[in-house]
Amino acid sequence: MNDDIGVFEAMHTCRAIRYLKPDPVPDELIRRVLDAAIRAPSGSNRQSWHFLVIKDAATRKMIQERYKRAFDAYAAMTASAPPRAGVSVTTMDLVRKSATHLAEHLHEAPVLLMPLLVNEQGPLRGDGPLQTVARKSTYSSIYPAVQNILLACRALGLGACLTTLHLMYEEEIAKVLGLPPNVESMCLIPVGWPAAKLGPVTRVPVEEVSSLDRYGRRW
CB-based contact 110:54 (threshold 8 Å): no
The pTM assigned to this predicted structure is 0.90
pLDDT < 50 positions in the chain:
none
Nearest to 185 by CA among 123, 134, 137: 123
Nearest to 165 by CA among 98, 66, 77, 17: 66
pLDDT at 56 (0 to 100): 98
pLDDT at 175 (0 to 100): 98
Torsion, CA 30, CA 33, CA 34, CA 36, rounded to 10 = 160
pLDDT at 150 (0 to 100): 98
Domains of the chain: 7-78+88-208 (3.40.109.10)
pLDDT at 123 (0 to 100): 62
Nearest to 18 by CA among 99, 75, 93: 99
